[in-house]
Amino acid sequence: MESYETRAEHGTWRLVGADATVPLVDGARRRYVNLDFAASTPALEEAARAIEAMLPWYSSVHRGAGLKSRICTAAYEGARSEVHAFFNARADDTVIFTRNTTDAINLLAYALPPETKVVASAVDHHANMLPWRRHRVTYLPVPESPAAHLAALDSALSDVARGDPSLVAVSGASNVTGEIWPLREIVERAHAAGARVLVDAAQLAPHYPIDMQALGVDYLAMSGHKMYAPFGAGALVGRPDWLEEREPFLRGGGAVQFVTLDDVEWKDVPDRQEAGSPNILGAIALGAVCRALGSGGMRAIAREEAELYQYARERLLTIPGLELYTVWGPGHPHVGILTFNLSGYVHSLLAAILSAEYAIGVRHGCFCAHPLLLHLLKVERAEADRIRDDLRSHSHPAIPGAVRISFGLSTTRDDVDQAVAALKEIAAHGPRWRYECDPNNGEFDPVDDGRPWPDLPVHLTREYVRHAGESS
């Protein structure tokens, strides 16, 4: 099997911007080490080439008689078939293009039958937590083991009457700790109770093969920007009936067959749930990535990333004062995500040092998973209530958080080694530069940061970057 390093040399997977160098705060330049793939990925070159090829042919879809429109329509529907094939969806499953995972889950939450009971989890990303609150939702606690989670699920489903609509919403992999959830067992238990299953695959899809037919998954939500197609498209894949029985989530052109002043005849899915002019180029880029990764072998990607995860975990644990967070421990399968804190450093300061002095890009904060972070950091309920109350009174409390490194197709052992060496140096000697904290958001910046930015043909609003902060 080729290693990540070998693949990078031979160009099997090429990511746009993977060879970029960036300035350090001391004036030197260094290759940018991207360890923030879980937040958003660079574009796979196949995605960029697909968009470049389609731009001269860009036109409307579905209703245009011109040749460009017909070609664009064929490419857009071809992308739909690529997404369908990538997840081995059932023949009658629909693929609805959305903006991202959040959009896809909100669409399904809107389309659920009245009185649907939803079972979600305290480990989930907010996108797979907040949309369900319009229904009767039960949140399972952070489990001590997969068996504990399955037992809690059985208990939550025990009072669902046969025939009543119910849905189990589960993350394919944690965006905080990387654990892969036991999807097959969850689906079996849910189906035995008459419930359907939605998988938030935002973190799982780029790293691990997903076979919807083999798993029996009813719905799957995903984001292109997590899967090397960062052009504003995602997808909801799954059974069409609930999506056809409700009026559209968005209402407008493209979703209708006929309209009068007092009535409307809606189209079937997917058109019914894709009102307005779609993100044609984003969908085409997503289709191109699904084709490239599907033909390249997701199983090989998963195996190699599992090896890289173990290597990184072992190396991180050699750093004095570093605490690594996990839900179920190292023996459980993980995608390439590791979250930690370093003694003596606020998470936002540590991330700023890694960027300014070492050209290492990481994520920090609560990763849009506040309940799970509070659990991992052992934040008591009284402290969480105090933070909430302070925010409601418009003060600016320090919000607990952590630092996360995450891997992608271009990540190598050398990237891991650079991060570990930087963290060891910081732990032993501290930062080489001075940093100041913005009291409005808790973010740290280097004092007298003179790093030049690239000359781009777009307007850059630096003040927003400096003061917006990152609370999720």
Strand 234-238 relative to strand 256-260: parallel, antiparallel, unpaired? unpaired
Please list, in sequence order, all residues whose beta carbon lies within 8 angstroms of the beta carbon of residue 283, skipping any fewer than 6 positions away: 76, 79, 80, 97, 233
Q: Is 368 designated active site?
A: yes
Query: Helix or strand or coil: residue 171?
Result: strand
Query: Helix or strand or coil: residue 445?
Result: strand
Pairwise CA distance, residues 353 & 356, whole Å: 5
For the chain, the first-to-last Cα distance in angstroms comes to 37
DSSP 362: -
Q: Which of the following is catalytic: 72, 290, 368, 437?
A: 368
CB 200 within 8 A of CB 127: yes
Please state, as a whole number, how many other Cβ atoms lie within 10 Å of the Cβ of residue 465. Answer: 12
Pairwise CA distance, residues 209 & 299, whole Å: 6
* Closest by CA position to 203, among listed 39, 16, 354: 39
Sheet holding 166-171, edge to edge: 94-98, 234-238, 219-223, 196-200, 166-171, 117-121, 136-140
Query: Helix or strand or coil: residue 406?
Result: strand
What positions carry a catalytic annotation?
368
